[in-house]
Each structure stands twice: as C-alpha cells, then as structure tokens.
A and B are shown apart, each in its own frame.
Chain A
Amino acid sequence: MYLRIWCLLSVLFFSNFLIAQETYTFSGYINDQSSGETLIGANLYNKSNPTEGTSSNIYGFFSLTLPQGEYTFVCSYLGFADKEIVVNLNQDIRQTIEMSEGVTITEIVVTAEEKDENVENTSMGTIELPVENIKTLPALMGEVDILKTLQLLPGVLSAGEGNSGFYVRGGGPDQNLVLLDEAVVYNSGHMLGFFSVFNADAIKNTTLIKGNMPAAYGGRLSSVVDVQMKDGNDKSYQVDGGIGLISSRLTIQGPIKKEQSSFILSGRRTYAFDLAQPFLDGTNFEGTNYYFYDLNAKVNYRFSDKDRLFISGYFGRDVLNYRSNERDFFFRMPYGNATTTIRWNHLFSDKLFMNVSAIYNDYDFSFGGGQADFTVDLFSGVRDYNAKIDFDFFPNPKHQIKFGANYTYHRLTPNVTSASNGTVDFTNEFEPDYAHESAIYIQDDFKVNSRLTLNFGLRASMFTQLGPYNSTLNGTRYEKGDVVKTYTGLEPRVSGKYTINPRASLKAGIAVTNQYVHLVSNSTSTLPIDVWVPSSELIKPQQGIQYAVGYFQNLMDNEYESSIELYYKDLWNQIDYRENYVNNPTTEVENDFVFGTGRSYGLELFLKKRKGRLNGWVGYTYSKTDRTFPEINNGETFPATFDRTHDLSVVANFELTPKWQLGGVFVYGTGNTFTPIKSLYFIEQNLNVEYGVRNSARLEPYHRVDLSATLTPKPDSEKRFTSSWTFSVYNTYNRRNPFFTYTTFETDANAGTAKATAYKVSLFPVIPSVTWNFKWKQK
C-alpha cells in the first residue's frame, strides 16, 4: 500500500521536471533594508505574468526557476513599498532583495496577503500576522498580545474573557501546535492565560494555519501557530522599550559583525505586585508576591552565502509566593517554559534549501506549600529533545517541494507528589513517562495549469511509549527503555485552488491529522496544573479529519478581500475526565480518563478593507461543536465546552492625523456553555447538587468594545530617539460579561429552612491603560 502511494507521488512529482527549454534560477533572500531582518512570506512574481511567482520561506529565502530571458520581477510585502527588479536570466542568479518601508504603510493590520494573494494562494485558512501590524490595536492593560489578535479571526475562538488561549474550528485547547522558533511551547500563557508568553517586541512574524495543515506540520489536530522571533538588526544598534500598566519591556539588538552576524535580547517583567511589597511588610501577608517575566535571546551568523546559523532561546517564569504568617501557612508556585533552538540553513544549490534544527524545550510546574511541619511538594512537566531536517526544493516554477524528517524524545512528568508531616516522608512514587515521536513528510505545491494548483502531501508518523510503566491492563512491569506500545499513522493532506477569474478563486482541502500527546483539563479553561500525558496502552492517539471548501473574491481593485469558508471536522479518541472525577494525587490521571468522539462544522465569513486611512476587517463564524462519550451524559451527544454558535469580530484602524492613529475592536459571541443544576438534595442536613445534562445551559452572550489611540508626537522625526504613547480602553461600555457561575447554600436544619443563591461572576470592567514606547536607533 505504502509503496504504491510513494510510486504515485514520485510520478506526480517528477513528471514535470523535464522541460525542454533552457532554464535558470533566480534565488536569494528578501530583507528589510533598515534592519536586515529577513522577511517571511514576501511575494516575488514576474510582472508580465504574475502566475510565475513564489514567496519567501520562514528564513526569507526564495527560489524561482524560469526559462532563459529578461524579466522584471515585482517584490512586495505588507507595509513595504513594492520593488521592481530587472533580471537578465541567462545564468543562475543569487541576489538579496532589500525592501524599504514605504508609502503603503497605512495599509495595516493582519494580513500579509498582497495583491491577489487572497485568491492566488493555494493554502486555505493560513494567515500571516506581522507583529508590527497589531501594535496599534487596543490591548488588555496595554499588553500587546499576538494570540489575542488571532482570536479576532473567523474560526478562532477565545478561550474566555481576557484569555490568550484559543480554540480552532472545534478543536480542544491542546490541539493547537504553538511553536516559537520551531520549539513547541506547551503552556503559552502567563497568569492563568490572561497574557501570552510572547513578548511582541521580540517577535517578527506569526503564521496561523487553521485548516489544511501542510504535511510539514504534525503532532496536533487542529491548528498551527508558528511564531518566529526577530533575528536582530545586522546594520545598526537599536533599543526599543516600553513602560506599561503592569509590566515594562526592553529590547536591545544590533550587529555583531555588520551584515553578517547580529543579536537580539529582549526582556519583559511585571511589577504591579513588587510595588505593593512595602505595604505588605509587617502584615500577616509579608512575603506574598506574584510576578512573571520573559527573556528572549537570539544570535545569527552568516558563514557564507550558503550557510547561516541561528541560535535562539526563550525563558519565562510565573512565580507566586503566598504567606499567611499568623497561621504559618505558605506556598510557592513557580512555573514556566524554556526553549532553545539551534538552526543551520544550508543551500545545496539555488534550488535546494535545507534547514537542520536541534531543539530543546521544557515546561515545568512546581508547587511547594504547607503549614508548620506539614508540607506538600508537587512537580509536573514536559521536556523534549527534538531534531529535525527540512528541505525546500524548487525544481521549476510548477513545483515547490518540501520534505523532511522530525524526531522527538519526550519526557512527560505527571504530578509527582511528595509530602511530609515532619516525621514521615511519603510520595506517590510516580515516574516520568518517556516516548519517541517521529515523522517523515513530503509535500508538493503543483501548478497544474494557469487555473489549477494542487498541494498534496503525506506525513507518516510514529509514536512509541517507553517504560518505566506499570500496565493496568495486564499488570506487566516495563523497565526504563522497554517498549510498551507503538502507534503509527499515515496522514494524507490534499488541497487545491481553482482560479475562476483573476479576482476570484475556489479552494478546497482535506487533511488527516494525528496527535500523540494530550492535555486534558477538568476546568473550563486550561490551568498551569493541567498535565500533558503521552499516548499509552490506555490512551490512543487523537485523530482528526477536516474537510474544507472556500470561495475567495477580491473587490474594487483589490481594496477589499472577502472569503466564505465551510468546514466539517471529525475527531476520534477525544479525552475527558470521567464524571465522578476526584483529584487524587495517588492515581495516575490516565486512569481517570474516558474516551469519545467529536464533531464540528461551521461557516466563516471574512471581509477585509486593505487600504486607505480606514482599514480593518469583519470576521463572522457560525459553528457547532459537540462531543460524544459513552461514559459521559449516558452516552448522549453534548455540546463541547467551547461550542459557540455565533462569533463576530470587527476590527478597525483609522489614521486620524499623522500623529494620531486610532484603533477599535468589537467582539460578540454566543454565551459559554455550562452544566446546569438539575436538583438539590439534603445529606447530613447540607444541600448537595445533582447536575443536569452536560453543557446544556448557556451564560449570556459575550460582547465588548475596546478602543485605542496611539500618539506619535513627531512622526517624521529623524532623530535617534523617538517615542509614542498608546492609550487603550478595554471593555469601553463596561459590559458585565459573565465568566462563570457558582452557588452558595445555607441550611438551618433545626428550623427546617434552606437558601440557595446563584451568582455569576464577571471579570474585567472597563479598564483604561496607557503605555509609553520608545525607540533609540544608531544612525
């Protein structure tokens, strides 16, 4: 079977390689002239025949092979002036194209799609988000957050009020592959997810793939968020910073060796609670504090035209210390991510680009607390060692082929708990889980003719659970390194585009995905205490298949872009906690899991105004997501926790004057589901709750308006030092959006009376904020 598929693919890949005419390759990198940063997803096409074109990969590399001749190429990138390059292609030519920020700067906000890209691109449900374009949008407490901006796109739902977590097309929160310089980020939130770990100052570009995941990506069912850090200015030194309501930021970047090597160092830390410390001194709570911080660092070095090395790292922590001195009660809860990525880009030829990556990432959560002699310590986490190799092959303009391999060694530590009562120490004796995860893939973007383009790919994945492990199925004890269980998966991905006319196209795709590590949460949003668990004897890999079709139309000379997309998704081996779950530190969580299926379908509408002083977009999603578990709800299908029928986002930017830039966001969503109380009953004269059908009730609809105004006092300043102020108002009309409900009970057994009171809690009222940003740049 496999053999036959490979034969078929080989024929498809190579049948078009033999082209009679003499061809040459135009290749190189596309850069930002002022900083030397490579530009991701910039477009390059033949001016007289725009279908002969390509776009730069995540390292800014492009390659275009065409018949001998003289060409005028147009290079375009959002926020930059188009550049025309005249090339006499009578030999292979390698050239760096430098783009400068241009007059089109007012064209703003999410989108890297240029010109007809909306209709021209084969990929569906892929959105690039250059970070510069989100900084003028309103932000909660002034903290610019790429993950929250993604939530404003159709098909992407916010995980909750002010939360950076998100759900994509009916997938769970663990089904999003979040990458930072190719390292998996297992927990992308600070402070229970109210802020994401991505410091916008250190981020260059974010790509969201919500449908038809290309074969190069895998390991998650629903989406990819691929975040690329800046490489660092390789021409001159630059310092950026900001002082905000709750945190401050500082970024330093510059050349190590001009136009050959550069660095960037970026940090952010909150200080709201540090400022409160003097007020806690001498009180019962002296020593109580909370803060988080992020550090991003990256260096790159160009050895030659053909070789470039990148080393990047991220380190972030949340730390909560609590003390109640009167009762001698305390705990300390630090958690966070660390990632390191080493990448080597190598050009074998003008047509073959290679990247080799060695990646380390770690997420750990720990908790230590107690009272007097009684103490409890807990630890959980994920640690991956990952190696991958990826090739981009540009044989001719009809084909763009990617292939590669990926291997990860996982160590997943469940809630290892130890406790002491001062005399006896005891532990639940949990051992870390180990696993191998590997994949190979190949994909081809194949321009069949001027109207039809196909992208087909195949990913083969494998996961091996390793000991130590005690089988609960047959009692076997597996020692460290023993193979417990192996799963394999074949994941075909096909998508295509048919051009109806230069302004309209039809796209469709099918993608099969497998997921081998899982995060199961018993709460309505994920918490840092939730643990990642591997597939095992008991937990089968999650599987998904998504079908999507879309119609893309540009209007009024490309001033407007619009699209309609429909999707349907089936999910298997979905995981949840059993209904009578009790958090028990001595039971491995997999014994508390139950398994079922999921389904989601929806309609997404998107209309964007790309140009002009007023620009922005409207995104609307109609969707339905449900789950069916034999052991939940008596086997009856129930709405998923994040089922949201209607979800609307309106985003606008307006350049009032060169000094004043205004931004506004309106969001509306159907209220969140919750499980209602079916009845109350007495036990030991206290009221207890019997719950009704899972998620069968809803909170009120969610809506709010955020506004922002950015003042740049001297927009045309040629000085080294420039600064701006961003004023932001979150939830402008102070909507009390219910976040959760709870109930209190009072019983007077002697009198035979009882009272039950239900409360709904809303989080953020109107919150104004101000941020001062500055930039110093060496001339």
Chain B
Amino acid sequence: MSIFFRMGIFLLFVAVLFTSCEEEFIPDIVEAEPDIVVEGYIEAGENANPPFVILTRSVPFFSEINTDEFNNLFVRDAIVTITEGDNEYELTEFCLDELTPEQQAQAAELFGLNPDSLEANFCVYLDFSFSLMGEVGKTYDLKIEAEGKTLTSSTTIPQHVPIDSLFLVDAPGVPNDTLRQMNAFIDDPAGAPNYYRYFSGVNDGPILPGFNSIVDDAFFDGLYFEFVLPKSEVNDPNVDIDPNTFGLYTVGDTATIKWCTVDKAHFDFWNTLEFNAANQGPFSSYTRIESNINGGLGIWGGYSVSYYTRVVD
C-alpha cells in the first residue's frame, strides 16, 4: 500500500520536476566503530536448510569495495552457540576456500549464489554434524563471542500456515501469450497475528526473497485470502528491471515458492529493512532497521517453511 502512495507522490513530483537535476557526490564519512552484523537463520519443515550464521562487519560509507575488502568483512574465529532448552550446539566456521568443489556447490546453493562464477570467499558458521534442525514451536537462543564482544539473540519458529492453493492467471493489462502471474490462496488462522515471508525461484536458479517479501495478516486475519506472489528479481547490477515483465513468470518455466511463517521480531526486521530500502529522499525521513541482536546489527530468525513448485502454463 505504501508503495502505491509513494508512487503517487513520486509521480506528482515528476509532474513538477521535469526540470530537476541530480549529480553524484561523496558524503562525509561518519567516524564510528564497526558493528558486528549477524545474519543467521534456523528453519523447520520439509527440505528445510540447516541452521547457519554469517558474521560480518559494518563499514563506513564507501564508493566501491573489491573482492579482497569484501572477504575481509567476515568476522572470523567467533564462538557461536545455539541453545534450545538444555541442548547446546556450537557451530563451526567454514570458508568456501576450505571446501571441496562439491561442498562449495552445496554451500553456494544455500546462499543463493552461482557456484560457477564464485570469486568471493564466504565464511559461515554451520552445524556440520547436521544434528540440529529447527522444530516448530521451539525457541532458539544464539550467543556469539567475537572480537571481544558478546552478542545474544533469541528466535522462535512459529506454527506453519501452508499455502492452500497456487495457480497462474493471465498477466494484468494488455493480453500477453507468454507472461503469467502467480496467485495464491491461504487460509489464515483467526486470532493471534501471523507473519509471512516468501521466496521464489525459477528453474534451477537461486531461491530469492520476493518483492515486498514480508507481510502480516492485519488486513486478512482469519480469512480465506487470495493474493499475488510476484516473481523475485535477481539482484544483478547488469540486468535492468523491465517494468513490463516485472514480477511475472514466463510460460514454460518451473517456479518454486518457498513459503515461511516467522515470529514478530523476525517480521519487524524485514518490515523495517524493506521500508528503509524503499524510502529515501524528501518523502520520508530514515527508518532504523529493527534488529533482534543485542550488541550488534542484523537478524537471528526462525522460519517455518514449505516449498511448492509449479510449471508455468
């Protein structure tokens, strides 16, 4: 909804600003200690990923960073533990350059990367014994000790609410033989709020977060509800987004939807992150991304997941 708004305001602006002009500039650097950024997930459900935690550092505003600088952002040698009830699991650090090509391919898939053109050396903390898998209804505490700091967080994997049905309809607007739109129904449980996030992928490509991937049920609590699942767009600087095909599937593709429920803190993180990314300029002052990490930035998030595939016809 806010997207509609912003667009309206933006266009109103364009009406006046046929004359506006923009130029690049280098902002002043704000001197600040880097923060440790946590990106960790624990999933429950069929085909769920094993829990993992990526630790990086925040950096002052830059114009460009190269592969070496990128690789140096990873926080190494941290002690990462996940606690559930009386069970404690310590994660092990792996970097891509320490893995066999086969393992690298697996890891790349986990991060949504392309193993063929991989140059960056991602490092991740992982339970390689695979003895820890997320379970619905359980709470997982995270503790990280690194670079003299201790970071903590906690997340719960909520009950799953599956997609009831998934189907393809004609793309809106001018009739088109090759483009289709994905719609879905869910049967939202009444009462307590539910929070949803979705990802999608095409054919063998990576599974990527959707456009406006996060939603709560405030508008459709307890309803049997139809909504659109736009196709996720690859974040590739070399590919321009085409507004005429944006979010639409091409006939013949195989679409995969990853559908998740998340808890409140996890929802708040993505909700503020997406709002923050979409709102800049004169229409909105900044929104701070709400992290659930004590002592750092980022997210420790539980997902209750289910996967669906459809051939686009």
Say whether, besides A683-B298, A741-B25, A688 and B4 are in contact (CB < 8 Å). Answer: no
Contact present for B73 and A765 (CB under 8 Å): no
Q: Which of A116-124, A454-462, A752-760 contacts B (4 or more CB under 8 A)?
A: A752-760
Check A676 against B5 for contact (C-beta < 8 Å): no
- Contacts A679-B59, A679-B60 supplied; 4 other A-B pairs, CB < 8 Å: A419-B219, A678-B32, A688-B273, A756-B62
A424-B226, A525-B282, A767-B19 known; A758+B288 contact, CB < 8 A: no
Q: With an 8 A cutoff between CB atoms, is A89 at the interface?
A: no
Task: Return A236 CB to nearest CB of chain B, in Å.
Answer: 39
**How far is A415 from B35 in the complex, measured between Cα atoms in Å?**
38
Chain B residues with CB under 8 Å of chain A are 1-2, 4-5, 7-9, 11-13, 15-17, 19-28, 30, 32, 34-35, 37, 39, 56-67, 70-71, 73, 111-114, 117-121, 171-174, 209, 218-220, 223-228, 235-237, 243-244, 268, 271-273, 275-277, 280-290, 297-299
What is the CB-to-nearest-CB distance from A738 to chain B, in angstroms, rounded to a whole number?
Answer: 8
Interchain CB contact under 8 A, B9 and A581? no
Known: A743-B280, A751-B120, A752-B67. A759 touches B290 (CB 8 A): no
Q: Are A677 and B27 in contact (CB under 8 A)?
A: yes
| Docked pose: A324 CA to B246 CA in angstroms | 14
B37 with A754: CB separation less than 8 A: no
Is A374 located at the chain interface by the 8 A CB criterion?
yes
Check if B21 sits within 8 Å of A765, measured CB to CB.
yes
Residues of A within 8 A of B226 (CB): 421-424
Question: Is A356 at the interface (CB under 8 A from chain B)?
Answer: no
Q: Is A472 an interface residue (CB 8 A)?
A: no
Given contacts A690-B58, A739-B282, A761-B22, whether A681 and B219 have CB atoms under 8 Å apart is: no
Q: A371-B172, A751-B120, A752-B120 are in contact. Are A761 and B21 (CB under 8 A)?
A: yes
Pairwise interchain contact B284-A697, C-beta atoms closer than 8 A: no
A689 interface residue per 8 A CB criterion = yes
Contacts of A679 in B (CB 8 A): 30, 32, 34-35, 58-61
Which of chain A's residues have a CB closer than 8 A to the CB of B286?
A: 579, 675, 689, 691
User: Do A320 and B12 form a contact, CB below 8 Å, given A376-B4, A686-B235, A754-B65?
Assistant: yes
Say how far B9's CB is from chain A's closest CB, in angstroms: 6
The interface residues of chain B lying within 8 Å CB-to-CB of A320 are: 8, 11-12, 15
In the bound complex, CA of A680 to CA of B15 (Å): 33
For the complex formed, measure the closest distance between the CB of A278 and the CB atoms of chain B, giving whole angstroms. 17
The CA of A374 and the CA of B32, in the complex, are separated in Å by 46
CA distance A329 to B227 in the complex (A): 16
User: In the complex, A767→B117 CA distance in Å?
Assistant: 50
Residues on A with beta carbons closer than 8 Å to the beta carbon of B7: 331
CB distance from B299 to the nearest CB of A (A): 7
What's the least CB distance linking B109 to chain A, in Å? 13
Q: Is the CB of B220 within 8 A of A367?
A: no
B174 surroundings in chain A (CB, below 8 A) = 325-328
| B20 in contact with A757 (CB, 8 Å) | no
Query: Interface size class for chain A?
Result: 35 or more
A345 to B173, CA, bound (A): 60
Does chain B have a CB within 8 A of A33?
no
Q: Which 7 A-B pairs have the closest CB atoms?
A: A752-B120, A586-B218, A372-B172, A746-B237, A328-B173, A752-B70, A679-B58
The answer to whether B35 touches A681, judged by C-beta atoms less than 8 angstroms apart, is yes
Report the bound CA distance from A232 to B198 in whole Å. Answer: 64
A604 to B27, CA, bound (A): 32
User: Chain B nearest CB: distance from A552 CB in Å?
Assistant: 38
Closest B residue to A680 by beta carbon equals B59
Q: Which of B4, B218, B299 has the most CB of A within 10 A?
A: B4
Q: In the assembled complex, how far is the CB of residue B64 from the closest CB belonging to chain A, in whole angstroms? A: 5
Mark A residues whose CB is within 8 Å of B: 160, 191-192, 194, 273, 290, 320, 322, 324-329, 331, 333, 367, 369, 371-372, 374, 376, 378, 417, 419, 421-424, 426, 428, 522-525, 527, 529, 577, 579-587, 641, 675-686, 688-692, 696-697, 736, 739-743, 746-765, 767
Kindly report which residue of chain A lies nearest to residue B36, judged by CB atoms: A681
* Shortest distance from the beta carbon of B182 to any chain A beta carbon, whole Å: 14
Partner of A582, one of B13, B26, B37, B275: B275
Establish whether residues B30 and A688, one from each chain, have CB atoms under 8 Å apart when the complex forms: no
A585 to B228, CA, bound (A): 19
Q: Which residues on B sit within 8 Å (CB–CB) of A378?
A: 1
CB-defined contacts of B62 to chain A, threshold 8 Å: 680, 754, 756
Residue contact B112 to A685, C-beta cutoff 8 Å: yes
Taking a contact as CB atoms under 8 Å apart, the answer to whether A426 and B61 are in contact is: no
* Partner of A426 from B220, B276, B297 at Cβ < 8 Å: B220
Contact of B27 among A371, A585, A758, A762 (CB under 8 A): A758
Query: How far is it, in angstroms, between the C-alpha of A423 and the C-alpha of B209 when the chains are bound?
Result: 27
Which residue of the partner chain B has the closest CB to A748? Answer: B237
Q: List 17 A-B contacts (CB under 8 A).
A: A324-B173, A378-B1, A422-B226, A522-B284, A523-B285, A681-B56, A682-B56, A683-B39, A683-B298, A690-B297, A748-B236, A751-B67, A753-B64, A753-B70, A756-B62, A760-B25, A762-B23
Give chain B nearest CB distance to A250 CB in angstroms: 24
A527 touches B20 (CB 8 A): no
Pair A585/B1 contact, Cβ less than 8 Å: yes
Are A192 and B244 in contact, with the CB atoms below 8 A? no
Contact, CB under 8 Å: A750 / B237: no
Does B64 lie within 8 Å of A755, measured CB to CB?
A: yes
Beyond A328-B173, A421-B227, A688-B276, whether A675 also contacts B285 by CB under 8 A is yes
Contact of B114 (CB < 8 Å), options: A750, A752, A759, A763: A750
Residues of B within 8 Å of A762, CB to CB, are 20-23
Asked whether A329 and B173 contact (CB < 8 A) given A290-B15, A426-B220, A754-B64, the answer is: yes
**Residues of the A chain whose Cβ atoms lie less than 8 Å from the Cβ of B235:** 685-686, 747, 749
Selected contact of B24 from candidates A194, A585, A752, A757, CB within 8 Å: A757
- Residues of B contacting A367 in the complex (Cβ-Cβ under 8 angstroms): 4-5, 8
Interface centre among A417, A525, A686, A750, by most B CB within 10 Å?
Answer: A750
Q: Let me know if B220 and A424 touch, CB within 8 A.
A: yes
Tell me if B218 and A584 are in contact (CB < 8 A): yes
Chain B residues with Cβ below 8 Å from A326 are 173-174, 244
| Chain B residues whose CB sits within 8 angstroms of the CB of A583 once the complex forms | 1-2, 5, 275
B271 in contact with A764 (CB, 8 Å): no
Q: Name B63's contact: one of A369, A525, A755 (CB within 8 Å).
A: A755
Identify B225's interface contact among A273, A424, A696, CB under 8 A: A424
Asked whether, in the complex, the Cβ of A273 is within 8 Å of the Cβ of B21, the reply is no
The answer to whether B9 and A676 have CB atoms under 8 Å apart is no
Task: Give Cα A369 to B289, complex, Å.
Answer: 29
Query: What B residues does A529 contact at CB under 8 A?
Result: 5, 9
Residues of B within 8 A of A742 (CB): 280-281
What is the CA–CA distance of A527 and B5 in the complex, to the nearest angstrom? 11
Closest to B224 in A: A424
Closest residue of B by beta carbon distance from A767: B19
Complex: chain A residue closest to B171, CB-CB: A327
- Shortest distance from the beta carbon of A111 to any chain B beta carbon, whole Å: 32
- Are B289 and A322 in contact, with the CB atoms below 8 A? no
Output the least CB separation between B106 and chain A (Å).
Answer: 16
CA distance A677 to B61 in the complex (A): 7
Q: Who on chain B is nearest to A324 by CB?
A: B173
Q: How far is the CB of B192 from chain A (nearest CB, A)?
A: 15
> In the complex, what's the smallest C-beta–C-beta distance from A754 to chain B, in angstroms?
5
